[in-house]
Amino acid sequence: MPVRRKHSICLVRGPRRREAWRCAGVLARVAVARVTLTRMAVTLTVAVAAATALPRAALAADTRDYPAVASRGNGVAVPFQGFVGADGRPTPIGGAVGVDLVLGSTARPYLPCQHYNRQSGTGDTFVNACQEKGSYATYTRFPAGSGLVFPHGYFVGNTQPDLVRGGVLNTDWGARTAGLSFEFYPDPRYDAEYVHSRFYVDAFTRPANGWTYSVDFGSIPLLTATDPNTARLGGQLTVAGRPPAPGRVSMTIFGGTAHSSTGQPISSFAVYAGSGSSRWTTSPLYAGSQRITIVDTATRRQCMLDRLNVRGNVTVDFDLAQPGFGHPDSVCTG
């Protein structure tokens, strides 16, 4: 199964293939919005206008600019075992989980694995430790019917293998970690059927067995649109009444509320890449408040729109020729 990543909202070319320094302003807002939405899991109570004033991500930094916390021992760990079916049995489909490594802080995040220029092959000092350069620190696939993908939890140590030259890199990532973001992708054949779940953790306070642990997330059941407490967004997508050209529109949606097997809050995300159709729709989401970010790649105009307490099928129409893409309550830049 190929790596499948959320589409960059500032590059036209495809999923999460971004040179961070080329779109610092946009990515800063998105990076912080992603972790903020997860931590807000109950509802989007922050006014939309506040989104434009979010702190900027430290995109021009390097791992070595961030201090290490020596008291963490071997590094940090998240007691998260992986995914199960809605009935608690092994997963009925295959999929993958991507993990973003965040340094710095939740308010001012730096993602070393996204600090990579594909054209020059340069980036963070330790980018060779990233399983997906320009994207996730790790990307772990699992087949249908498999056991738990992380039966003993997810660990970030202070050394990682050099995936390009061989040997070991002394990254101190475990001691430097500010947060970890976990994002689930179903097998592409079932992409439109299953909720893409995600959660973010930025507190590691429990020392044990030489590691420093977060709270226990247990496992996450895989849900479909037919399960209770899910939602789906969609509607018309036009430019002055005409369908937009293929690839012109990019959307990301974050939000919803659910809980892991241990009661920890989790949320969901969806991605839409314009196909040239005059209609758009998302994969299933957890019910709850959602933030839609839509980008017109032809004009580089971006709008963010919040919809509260979304449940079931909800229609949201967009017209790129209208102010706010047809929504006066949206917040736009560009």
* Residue found under tokens 């970010």: 293
Identify whether the C-beta of residue 35 lies closer than 8 Å to the C-beta of residue 202: yes
Collapsing DSSP to helix, strand or coil, 124 comes out as coil
Nearest Cα to Cα of residue 49 among 255, 330, 299: 330
Beta bridge partners of 223: none
Output the pLDDT for position 21.
23
The pLDDT value recorded for residue 60 is: 58
Which 3 state secondary structure label does DSSP give 266? strand
Residues forming beta bridges with residue 273, ordered by sequence position: 250
Residues 6+ apart with CB under 8 A from 63: 103, 112, 124, 125, 126, 171, 172, 173, 176
pLDDT profile of the chain (334 residues), mean per 10: 42 29 32 38 30 42 95 98 94 97 96 95 96 97 93 97 97 98 97 97 97 98 96 97 96 98 98 95 98 97 97 97 96 94
CA angle 324, 253, 308 (to 5 degrees): 75
In the numeric block, the tokens 């420093």 are attached to 212
Q: Using CA of residue 226, residue 284, residue 101, residue 123, what is the dihedral sign?
A: positive
Q: Which of 206, 21, 241, 221 is nearest to 110 (CA)?
A: 21
Backbone angles phi, psi at 14, to 5 degrees: 155, -170
Closest by alpha carbon to 253, among 229, 233, 235? 233
Neighbours of 208 (CB within 10 A): 10
Q: Is 65 helix (H, G, I), strand (E, B) or coil?
A: helix
Q: Which amino acid is present at 224?
A: T
pLDDT of residue 76: 98
**pLDDT for residue 284:** 98
Facing residues of 78 across strands? 154
Look at strands 196-201 and 265-273 and give their pairing: antiparallel
Which amino acid belongs to residue 135?
S
Alpha-carbon distance of 267 to 279, in angstroms, equals 25
User: What gap in Å lies between CA 254 and CA 180, rounded to an integer?
Assistant: 16
Per-residue tokens: 155: 């660990």
| CB 292, CB 302: distance < 8 Å | no
Farthest CA pair distance, the chain: 61
- Length of the chain equals 334
Q: What pLDDT does residue 8 have? A: 31
Residue 161 tokens read as 């293998």
The reply to whether the predicted model has a pTM over 0.85 is: no
Structure-token match 């922050």, residue found:
46
Chain-centre distance for alpha carbon 322: 29
* Of the candidates 166, 42, 177, 148, the residue with the CA atom closest to the CA atom of residue 85: 148
- 231: nearest Cα among 307, 167, 311: 311
pLDDT of residue 1: 53
Distance from C-alpha of 267 to C-alpha of 47, rounded to nearest angstrom: 19
User: How many Å apart are CA 52 and CA 34, to the nearest integer?
Assistant: 14
